[in-house]
Amino acid sequence: MTNTSPGLSYPADMELWGIDEPLRVVGADGKRTGAADPRYPDDLGSEGLRRLLTDMVVTRRLDVELVRLQRQGQLALFSPCLGQEAAQVGVAAAMMPEDWLFPQYRELGMFVARGIDPVGIAMMWRGAYHGGRGLIEKKTMPMCIVVGAQVPHAAGYAMGVKLDGATEVVVAVMGDGALSEGDVHEAFNMATVFDLPCLFVVQNNQWAISVPPQTQTHSTTLAQKAVAYGMPGVRCDGNDVLATYSVTAESLRRIREGGGPMLVELVTYRRGPHTTSDDPTRYRDQAELEHWAALDPVDRYRRHLEGEGLWGEPEEEAVGKVAEEAAARLRAEVYDAPDPPVTELFDLVFSKPTKELEHQRAQLESSLTWNEP
């Protein structure tokens, strides 16, 4: 990683990259930005490079399916990630399987890239389970609805990793709005004071429901906030999956080697609504949407792989089939899925239900039996 901000000079613990222009290795035209850019992730190999596009295409297809399921009354709500596929897949692909992810809730691309069954994600949005299912098994904590609340958890977990002398890195993911939350400040502060193996990833998708970054902060960029905490900050083009992968991989390497926490801002755009209950036409222009649609991360990366001779008709056909199958399976398993028994709630309040909870469960159970036709 090289410093692309020659005008800025900071001490070693206040390194900043990408402030003037976000780091990227593939331009909007799909071509490499530099012929021999050392940040280009050659280590991925052609299979790894194709895998990124596969995950992005599958994510987009599942995203569409989840919106449809919501429109058909199968999900109570959904927060689409359209436009953020590169930022999400790039981060997750750079993580080691043993690294822990502390997500917010709009992280479908990360879940797909980590091999988490989308059915477990859909079941949260369906209103069947809090937090989702099948995440912890893939070293990913349950989805967190309170914005930024997961970030101090990541710091605490990272402290445990450090105490254990282990080499995992803990990745906390949040959006631009989260940086206004006190919990995020407290977590950044704790992580730097205690020098914890924690990577903070901000997906700056330009909108926190209806509020743009200029209303959230007077800082020009989000990455520069890292300076005040005494950690390195990187601003990266989040619609460039290879730059995202490369920046994340390099950050994780530095943290794993004891370099302390880092902050990465991924500049991207939420092209869909905040959730299926939102109407973004009330607060943003069509022109802005069109601007970002032209910078679509999936099209851009597909063009890039085509240009590199790594993608063509057969690959497109194969990935389309994978995506359709994934969407069909999701639909089949979510549509009219049976609800978990309501009595399960009583078993999960404490490690063992109290006498009062047993009593209340019995009360509910008897009323349910009574009401059965």
Question: Which chain residues interact with another protein by CB under 8 A?
Answer: 129-131, 133, 136, 141-142, 146, 149, 151-161, 163-164, 182-183, 186-187, 189-190, 193, 345, 347-351, 354-357
What's the min distance (Å) between Cβ of 171 and another protein? 13
CB of residue 275 to another protein, shortest distance in Å: 19
CB of 99 to another protein, least distance (A): 13
Q: How far is the CB of 76 from another protein (least distance, A)?
A: 16
DSSP 8-state class, residue 258:
I
For residue 94, give the nearest of 225, 232, 254 by alpha carbon: 254
Q: Is 283 among the residues known to form the active site?
A: yes
What are the DSSP calls for 73-128, one per residue? Answer: TSSS-----TT-HHHHHHHHHHS-TTSEEE--S--HHHHHHTT--HHHHHHHHHTS
Would you list the DSSP string of 28-43? TTSSBSSTT-TTS-GG
How would you label 199-235 residue by residue, b for 16+ Cβ within 10 Å and e otherwise?
Answer: bbbbbbbbbbeeeebeebeeeebbbbbbbebbbbbbb
- The residue among 101 and 323 lying less far from another protein, judged by its C-beta, is 101
H helix count then E strand count, the chain:
14, 6
In angstroms, how far is the first alpha carbon of the chain from the final one?
67
Q: How far is the CB of 65 from another protein (least distance, A)?
A: 24
Which is the catalytic residue, given 39, 270, 302, 331?
Answer: 270
- Minimum gap (Å) between residue 164 Cβ and another protein: 7
Q: Which is nearer to another protein, 68 or 153 (CB)?
A: 153
270 is catalytic: yes
Nearer to another protein, 193 or 294 (CB): 193
Residues in the chain: 373
Sheet holding 100-102, edge to edge: 16-17, 233-237, 262-267, 198-204, 170-175, 100-102
Q: Which is nearer to another protein, 120 or 273 (CB)?
A: 120
Nearest residue (CB) to another protein, 131 versus 259: 131
Q: Which residues, 6+ apart, have CB-to-CB distance to 180 below 8 Å?
A: 208, 216, 217
The rounded Cα 21 to chain-centroid distance in angstroms is 22
Q: Is 49 helix (H, G, I), strand (E, B) or coil?
A: helix
Closer residue to another protein (CB): 63 or 168: 168
Residue 40 a catalytic site member: no
**List 283, 291, 335, 359, catalytic entry:** 283
CA distance 91 to 97: 12
Q: Which of 24, 235, 274, 302 is catalytic?
A: 274
Closest contact distance (angstroms) between CB of 117 and another protein is 14
Which residues are known to be catalytic?
270, 274, 283
